[in-house]
Amino acid sequence: MTRKIRSWIYSLSFVGVVAAGVVTASGAAGDSAHGSLALTFLWIAVILLAAKLGGLVEKFGQPAVLGELVIGVILGNLVLLGIHTFEPILEDGIIKFLAELGVVILLFQIGLESNVRQMKEVGMSAFLVAIIGVVLPFVLGTYVVGPWFMPGLEPAAYLFLGAALTATSVGITARVFKDLKKLHIPEAQIVLGAAVIDDVLGLVILAVVSAIVTVGAVSLGMIGWILAKAILFLVGSIVLGQLLAPWLGKMFAKIQTGIGMKFTLAVIVCLVFAYLAQVIGLAAIVGAFAAGLILDPVHFRYFKDPHVVRDIKKAMKDAHAKNITIKEVEDAIEHHSERHIEDLIEPLAYFLVPIFFVLTGMEVSLAALFDGRVILVALAISVVAILGKLVAGAVAGKGVNKWMIGIGMVPRGEVGLIFASIGKGLGVISDELFSVIVIMVIVTTLVTPPILNVMLKKHKV
Amino acid sequence: MTRKIRSWIYSLSFVGVVAAGVVTASGAAGDSAHGSLALTFLWIAVILLAAKLGGLVEKFGQPAVLGELVIGVILGNLVLLGIHTFEPILEDGIIKFLAELGVVILLFQIGLESNVRQMKEVGMSAFLVAIIGVVLPFVLGTYVVGPWFMPGLEPAAYLFLGAALTATSVGITARVFKDLKKLHIPEAQIVLGAAVIDDVLGLVILAVVSAIVTVGAVSLGMIGWILAKAILFLVGSIVLGQLLAPWLGKMFAKIQTGIGMKFTLAVIVCLVFAYLAQVIGLAAIVGAFAAGLILDPVHFRYFKDPHVVRDIKKAMKDAHAKNITIKEVEDAIEHHSERHIEDLIEPLAYFLVPIFFVLTGMEVSLAALFDGRVILVALAISVVAILGKLVAGAVAGKGVNKWMIGIGMVPRGEVGLIFASIGKGLGVISDELFSVIVIMVIVTTLVTPPILNVMLKKHKV
In whole angstroms, what is the distance from residue B15 CA to residue B3 CA?
Answer: 18
Q: Which of A355, A297, A433 is nearest to A104 (CA)?
A: A355
A285 contacts: CB under 8 Å, gap ≥ 6: A103, A104, A107, A203, A274, A277, A418
Query: Which DSSP symbol is given to B399?
Result: T
**A461 to chain B nearest CA, in Å?**
23
- Mean of the pLDDT values across residues A304-327? 53
Torsion sign over Cα A189, A195, A199, A201: positive
Residue A339's identity, in one-letter code, is R
Judged by a CB distance cut-off of 8 A, whether residue B148 touches chain A is no
**B64 to chain A nearest CA, in Å?**
10
In whole angstroms, what is the distance from residue A68 CA to residue A454 CA?
Answer: 25
Q: Report the phi/psi class of residue A184: left, alpha or beta, with left for phi > 0 and alpha for psi in -120 to 50.
A: alpha
pLDDT greater than 60 at residue A354: yes
In whole angstroms, what is the distance from residue B356 CA to residue B68 CA?
Answer: 9
Question: Which residue from A13, A51, A328 is facing B244, i.e. has the nearest CB?
Answer: A13
In whole angstroms, what is the distance from residue B76 CA to residue B393 CA?
Answer: 36
Cβ of B84: how many Cβ atoms within 10 Å?
10
From residue A117, alpha-carbon distances to A296, B62, B446 in Å are 10, 41, 47
Question: Which residue from A7, A49, A264 is facing B48, i.e. has the nearest CB?
Answer: A264
**A91 to chain B nearest CA, in Å?**
14
- A-facing residues of B in 344-363 (CB < 8 A) are 344-348, 350-351, 354
pLDDT greater than 80 at residue A370: no
From residue B66, alpha-carbon distances to B34, B96, B413 in Å are 35, 20, 8
Torsion sign over Cα B133, B134, B140, B141: positive
Question: Which residue in A98, A273, A329 has the most chain B C-beta atoms within 10 A of its own C-beta, making it the best mutation to test that interface?
Answer: A329
Residue of A nearest to B251 (CA): A11
User: If DSSP codes are grouped into helix, strand and coil, which group holds residue B169?
Assistant: coil
Q: How confident is the model at residue A232 (pLDDT cuts 50, 70, 90)?
A: confident
Query: Which DSSP symbol is given to A142?
Result: I
Query: Which DSSP symbol is given to B160?
Result: H
**A7 to chain B nearest CA, in Å?**
6
- Binary contact (B45, A267; C-beta < 8 A): yes
> What's the N-to-C CA distance of chain B in angstroms?
51
Residue pLDDT, tens place only, A386-430? 999 999 988 887 778 889 999 989 988 777 888 888 888 888 888
Q: Do the beta carbons of residue A163 and residue A138 sit within 8 Å?
A: yes
Query: Which DSSP symbol is given to B80?
Result: G
Q: Do the beta carbons of residue B382 and residue B444 sit within 8 Å?
A: yes
Q: Do the beta carbons of residue A15 and residue B248 sit within 8 Å?
A: no
pTM for the model? 0.78
Size of interface A-B (CB pairs under 8 A): 268
Q: How confident is the model at residue A1 (pLDDT cuts 50, 70, 90)?
A: very low
pLDDT greater than 60 at residue A252: yes
In whole angstroms, what is the distance from residue A414 CA to residue A169 CA?
Answer: 6
Residue B268 C-beta-side C-alpha neighbours within 13 Å: 28
Q: Which residues of A163-186 are buried (b: 16+ CB within 10 A; e: fewer)?
A: bbbbbbbbbbbbbbbeebebeebb
pLDDT for residue A256: 67
Q: Which of B175, B145, B22, B28 is nearest to B86 (CA)?
A: B22
Cβ of A77: how many Cβ atoms within 10 Å?
18
In a structure prediction context, what are the per-residue pLDDT tens digits for chain B, which is 461 residues long? 455 455 444 444 555 555 544 544 444 333 333 456 789 999 999 999 999 998 888 787 777 888 888 899 899 989 888 888 898 898 898 999 999 899 899 888 877 876 666 556 657 888 889 899 999 999 999 899 888 888 888 888 898 899 889 888 766 677 677 767 776 778 887 887 787 778 777 777 877 787 777 776 556 776 677 677 777 887 888 788 778 777 777 777 777 667 788 889 899 999 999 998 888 777 787 788 888 878 865 555 545 555 555 555 555 555 544 444 555 555 545 444 455 777 888 899 999 999 988 998 888 777 766 778 888 889 999 999 999 999 999 888 777 888 999 998 998 877 788 888 888 888 888 888 888 888 888 888 878 888 887 888 777 65
In whole angstroms, what is the distance from residue B159 CA to residue B157 CA?
Answer: 5
Q: What residues in A contact B264, CB-CB < 8 Å?
A: 48, 51-52, 350-351, 354
Residue pLDDT, tens place only, A176-195? 777 677 767 788 878 877 87
Judged by a CB distance cut-off of 8 A, whether residue A34 touches chain B is yes
In whole angstroms, what is the distance from residue B349 CA to residue B51 CA?
Answer: 13
The answer, yes or no, to whether ipTM is higher than 0.95 is: no
- Binary contact (A348, B344; C-beta < 8 A): no
- Binary contact (A51, B321; C-beta < 8 A): no
| Three state DSSP letters for B199-253 | HHHHHHHHHHHHHHHHHCCCCHHHHHHHHHHHHHHHHHHHHHHHHHHHHHHHHHH
Main-chain phi, psi angles of A135, to 5 degrees: -65, -45
Q: Which of B41, B42, B53, B61 is nearest to B11 (CA)?
A: B53
In whole angstroms, what is the distance from residue B344 CA to residue A379 CA?
Answer: 41
- B-facing residues of A in 274-333 (CB < 8 A) are 274-276, 278-279, 284, 307-308, 311-312, 314-316, 318-321, 324-325, 328-329, 331-333
Q: Which of A437, A460, A430, A425 is nearest to A384 (CA)?
A: A437
Q: What residues in A contact B276, CB-CB < 8 Å?
A: 17, 21
**B239 to chain A nearest CA, in Å?**
13
Question: Which residue in B271, B294, B300 has the most chain A C-beta atoms within 10 A of its own C-beta, making it the best mutation to test that interface?
Answer: B271
Q: What residues in A contact B268, CB-CB < 8 Å?
A: 45, 48-49, 52
Question: Which residue from B11, B247, B337 is facing A251, i.e. has the nearest CB?
Answer: B11
Cβ of A24: how many Cβ atoms within 10 Å?
15
Q: What is the biggest distance separating any 2 CA atoms in chain B, rounded to whole angstroms?
A: 79
Gyration radius of chain A's alpha carbons? 24
In whole angstroms, what is the distance from residue A141 CA to residue A162 CA?
Answer: 4
Residue pLDDT, tens place only, A51-68? 999 888 878 877 788 888
Q: Which of A407, A447, A402, A458 is nearest to A186 (CA)?
A: A402
DSSP per position, B315-378 = HHHHTT-TTSSHHHHHHHHHHH-SPPHHHHHHHHHHHHHHHHHHHHHHT--GGGGGSHHHHHHH
In whole angstroms, what is the distance from residue B384 CA to residue B397 CA?
Answer: 23
Question: Which residue in B233, B330, B350, B355 has the most chain A C-beta atoms within 10 A of its own C-beta, making it the best mutation to test that interface?
Answer: B350
From residue A253, alpha-carbon distances to A257, A265, A302, A330, B49 in Å are 5, 10, 6, 24, 13
Q: Do the beta carbons of residue B127 and residue B85 sit within 8 Å?
A: no
B238 contacts: CB under 8 Å, gap ≥ 6: B116, B290, B293, B294
- Mean of the pLDDT values across residues A254-271? 83
Query: Which DSSP symbol is given to A299?
Result: G
In whole angstroms, what is the distance from residue B150 CA to residue B143 CA?
Answer: 11
pLDDT for residue B49: 94
pLDDT for residue B391: 92
pLDDT for residue B97: 94
Judged by a CB distance cut-off of 8 A, whether residue A236 touches chain B is no
Question: Which residue from A25, A259, A275 is facing B42, i.e. has the nearest CB?
Answer: A275
Question: Within A55-143, where are the H helices?
Answer: 64-76, 87-91, 93-113, 116-121, 124-139
Question: Which residue from A100, A260, A351 is facing B350, i.e. has the nearest CB?
Answer: A260
Instruction: Tell me the range of A3-17, A198-212, B275-289 where mean pLDDT is highest.
Output: B275-289
Q: Is B220 exposed, middle or buried (0-12, 13-18, 19+ CB in 10 A)?
A: exposed
Question: Which residue from A40, A337, A354 is facing B311, i.e. has the nearest CB?
Answer: A337
Residue of B nearest to A276 (CA): B21
A449 versus A46: the higher-pLDDT residue is A46
Q: Which of B154, B115, B162 is nearest to B138 (CA)?
A: B162
Cβ of B230: how many Cβ atoms within 10 Å?
25
Q: Do the beta carbons of residue B284 and residue B104 sit within 8 Å?
A: yes
